[in-house]
C-alpha cells in the first residue's frame, strides 16, 4: 500500500491502518480495488494556511513526501471519505493525521468546497490524473493554528509565503495536476 502513497490524493494510504471493528467504511484491498474500478471515489483535499488577525493568508503549508523511487514531492492534505463519515469528519481526520495532534485546524463553517478536482486514470479528460482511480475531490483552504508535526509518511510540512507557494518551482513539485489545483485554491483566498 505504501507503494502508491506518493501518487495519491489519499495522503494516509487509503486503507493501510486498522479501522474500528465492524466499520463498513473500511475496505479490504480487494474490495477497494473492485470499487475503484467501478465508481468515482470521494476525497477531500485541504490547503493548510496561516492567517493574520484580519484573515489574510501569511503562510501556506505543503507536505514533503518521498516517493518509493526516492524522489521528493509536495502534496496537500488529502484522503478518502469513508462510508458513514461526514465531509467535516473526513476533513478533520485527515488534517489531524497529516498535521499531528497539536495542530488546530479551523474547519470552515461552509462545507461547500473552494474547488472541485476530478481525477481520472486516463489522461486528457481533466487537468487531474490519478492512475489508481476516478476520484472526485472536494478542496478546502483551512486555517490552521498550533504546531504541525506530520506523521510517518510525510517528512515535514513546509510553511512558505503565498508567493513562494505560487512560484513555478513549487507548483511543479506537486503531482497529478495538483500544481494547478493549489493555484486555483489560493486564488479563492486572494493569492
Least Å distance between CB 61 and a copy of itself? 13
Q: Closest separation between CB of residue 110 and a copy of itself, Å?
A: 5
37 to 76: interface string for a copy of itself, x by CB under 8 A: xxxxxx------x-x-xxxxx-------------------
The three grid cell numbers given for residue 144, joined into one nine-digit string:
490552521
Binding to a copy of itself by residue 3, rule CB under 8 A?
no
Q: How many CB atoms lie within 10 A of CB 134?
A: 17
Segment (H or E) for 91: helix 87-99
User: From CA 33, how far away is CA 18, in angstroms rounded?
Assistant: 17
Q: How far apart are the C-alpha atoms of 128 and 57, rounded to whole Å?
A: 25
CB 2 within 8 A of CB 153: yes
Q: Which of 30, 110, 124, 152 binds a copy of itself (CB under 8 A)?
A: 110
The answer to whether 116 and 188 are in contact (CB under 8 A) is no
Establish if 144 lies at the interface with a copy of itself (CB under 8 A): no
How many residues contact a copy of itself, by CB under 8 A? 58
User: In the complex, what is the shortest distance from the CB of residue 63 to a copy of itself, in angstroms, rounded to a whole number?
Assistant: 19
d(CA 72, CA 91): 25
C-alpha cell, 12:
494516509
- For residue 73, give the C-alpha cell: 514531492
Choices 1-9, 65-73, 151-159, 182-190 (CB under 8 A): range interacting with a copy of itself: 182-190
Site for a copy of itself, rule CB under 8 A: 24-25, 27, 31, 34-35, 37-42, 49, 51, 53-57, 81-89, 91-92, 106-116, 118, 120, 122, 125-127, 134, 136, 138, 141, 143, 183-184, 187-190
Amino acid at each position: 500500500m505504501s507503494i502508491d502513497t506518493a501518487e495519491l490524493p489519499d495522503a494516509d494510504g487509503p486503507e493501510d491502518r486498522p479501522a474500528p471493528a465492524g466499520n463498513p467504511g473500511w475496505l479490504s484491498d480487494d474490495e477497494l480495488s473492485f470499487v475503484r474500478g467501478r465508481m468515482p471515489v470521494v476525497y477531500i483535499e485541504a490547503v493548510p494556511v496561516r492567517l493574520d488577525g484580519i484573515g489574510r493568508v501569511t503562510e501556506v503549508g505543503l507536505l514533503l513526501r518521498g516517493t518509493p523511487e526516492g524522489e521528493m514531492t509536495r502534496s496537500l492534505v488529502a484522503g478518502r471519505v469513508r462510508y458513514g463519515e461526514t465531509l467535516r469528519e473526513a476533513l478533520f481526520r485527515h488534517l489531524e493525521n497529516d498535521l499531528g495532534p497539536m495542530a488546530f485546524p479551523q474547519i470552515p463553517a461552509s462545507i461547500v468546497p473552494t474547488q472541485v478536482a476530478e481525477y481520472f486514470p486516463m489522461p486528457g479528460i481533466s487537468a487531474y490524473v490519478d492512475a489508481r482511480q476516478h476520484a472526485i475531490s472536494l478542496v478546502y483552504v483551512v486555517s490552521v493554528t498550533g504546531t504541525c508535526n506530520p506523521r510517518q509518511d510525510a517528512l515535514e510540512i513546509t510553511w512558505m509565503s503565498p508567493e513562494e507557494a505560487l512560484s513555478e518551482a513549487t507548483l511543479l513539485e506537486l503531482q497529478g495536476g495538483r500544481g494547478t489545483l493549489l493555484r486555483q485554491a489560493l486564488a479563492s483566498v486572494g493569492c
